[in-house]
Amino acid sequence: MQSVEEKNLHDHVVARTCLVTVFLYLTVHVFYLAMFMITDTFFMIVLNIISILIYLIFIVLVKKGKYYVYALCCGFEIITFMSISTVVCGFVAGFQLNIIGLCIVSFFTVYFNSQRRDVTRAIVWTIWSVVVYLGLHFYMSFNEPYYVLDKWLIVTLYAFHSISAFGFVVSYLLIFLKYAMDLEDRIKMESRTDKLTQIHNRYDLYNYLDSIKDKNGYALAIFDIDDFKTVNDTYGHVYGDYVLKTIARLADDNNDFFVSRYGGEEFIVIVKLEDDSEDVFDLIDNIRKMIDEYNFSFEGIDTHVTISCGIAKYMGEISIDEWINLADSKLYECKNSGKNKTLML
């Protein structure tokens, strides 16, 4: 199931893409109209006026959020217009090249349509495009075009269609790539962030610790909210969530610490020691004091919340779990000796 943010990103990309393509294709038909008005090619003038009116209707569809209907109608318009234009003006004008781009659009449409993600539709559309393209090629091999265009117009149109066909494919690929990269970044961020507190999660904690080559200049502190179960039972889980988010913010704000939610009501703080004289105990105990002095107030409920902290500097060749266990042992001492205190190994 998509999150609200993912759906908003999806809808934004689809809406923007549809709107851009409407105005792009509208501009193309205006260009065609100008070219054929110069050469006084009556049938093509009428055909392009009809297409321009159709795209004005498409703008209304996009504005109303009928993206799938627009994509379907747009595909039919393109393949119909290009087929008729090829028969009328000949293969040499290059109208048929745009049919190739329809294949990638069909797959693009399937991917961005969350309601009808059926790749069969894209395959059928692609096969149809190939059949139409080959059919036009076969037909024009045995028939002359209805209009013999001026040489300059043939060269202009073929060059335009060659560029537009490549541009068509590249543009859609760029849109898809941008969307995929944004989505990948979001997934990475969400996989490393605790959903409730919006700080680092346990997974990112281990990644961070693994990335530190020399851990000897670091200290690890683990702290736990005192009597958190009582807070939840007395005031409810909504209030408990408020307490968790507030403590995460207080610990994370205005510090150069790496703060992560380790699980439940437990948090881990990683402190890099700039020199041996730096007092890591005071740095961590300041967090405890700040929380002790903070007035937790939410929906008319005021409470006093405290934490207990255990600290361990990195000592020699020990694993990450052993390091955490050392700090946890001091946290356990805090819990058994009155709580709301900091002890260091």
**Domain map of the chain by residue range?**
4-192, 202-344
- Give 184-215 pLDDT, tens digit per residue: 888 888 888 998 999 999 999 999 999 998 88
Indicate the range of 26-35, 174-183, 330-339 predicted with least confidence. Answer: 174-183
The residue with tokens 């970044």 is 185
Three-state SS across the chain?
CCCHHHHHHHHHHHHHHHHHHHHHHHHHHHHHHHHHHHCCCHHHHHHHHHHHHHHHHHHHHHHCCCHHHHHHHHHHHHHHHHHHHHHHHCHHHCCCHHHHHHHHHHHHHHHHCCCCCCHHHHHHHHHHHHHHHHHHHHHHHHCCCCCCCCHHHHHHHHHHHHHHHHHHHHHHHHHHHHHHHHHHHHHHHHHHECCCCCCECHHHHHHHHHHCCCHHHEEEEEEEECCHHHHHHHHCHHHHHHHHHHHHHHHHCCCCCEEEEEECCEEEEEEECCCCCCCHHHHHHHHHHHHHHCCEEECCEEECCCEEEEEEECCCCCCHHHHHHHHHHHHHHHHHCCCCCEEEC
More confident residue, 81 or 181: 81
Residues of the chain with pLDDT > 70, as a percent, come to 92
Percent of the chain with pLDDT over 90: 59
Mean pLDDT of 92-96: 93
Catalytic positions: 265
pLDDT at 5: 58
**Of the candidates 7, 36, 268, 23, which has an alpha carbon nearest to the alpha carbon of residue 150?**
36
Band (107; pLDDT cuts 50, 70, 90)? confident
* The pLDDT value given to residue 328: 95
Query: Which pLDDT tens digit goes with each residue over 33-58?
Result: 999 999 999 999 999 999 999 999 99
Q: In the prediction, which pLDDT does 1 show?
A: 44
Token pair in block for residue 112: 């961005």
Taking only the tens place, the pLDDT of each residue in 133-169 is: 999 999 999 999 999 999 999 999 999 999 988 887 8
More confident residue, 108 or 245: 245
Q: Are the CB atoms for 36 and 3 separated by under 8 Å?
A: no
Whether pLDDT at 31 is above 60: yes
Residue 148 has a CB neighbour count (10 Å cut-off) of 10
| 13 or 206, greater pLDDT | 206
- Give the pLDDT score at 277: 43
Q: How far is CA 274 from CA 256, 279, 312, in A?
A: 11, 10, 16
pLDDT above 70 for 246: yes
- Check whether domain 202-344 has CATH 3.30.70.270, yes or no: yes
At 116 the pLDDT is 56
Specify the higher pLDDT residue, 66 or 55. Answer: 55
